[in-house]
A = this chain, B = another copy of it.
Amino acid sequence: MERIAEGEYAVMEVLWNEAPLTAADVATRVPEDRGWSLATVKTMLSRLLAKGVLAYEEEGRRYLYRPAIRREDYVAEESGRLIDRMFGGRVPALVAQLAARDKLSPADIAEIETLLKALKS
Contact = CB atoms under 8 A, between A and B. Distances in A.
Copy tally for this chain in the complex stands at 2
Contacts of A30: none
A13 to B, nearest CB: 9
A17 interface: no
Given A116-B112, A119-B104, A79 B94 contact: yes
Q: Give the interface centre of A75, A82, A92, A98 by most chain B CB atoms within 10 Å.
A: A92
Chain A residues touching B, range: 35 or more
B82 A108 contact: no
A24 interface: no
A82 B97 CA distance: 14
A91 B112 contact: yes
Contact of A91 (B80, B90, B103): B103
Contacts of A98: 79, 91
Interface of A: 6, 9, 72, 75-76, 78-80, 82-83, 85-87, 90-92, 94-101, 103-104, 106, 108-109, 111-113, 115-116, 119-120
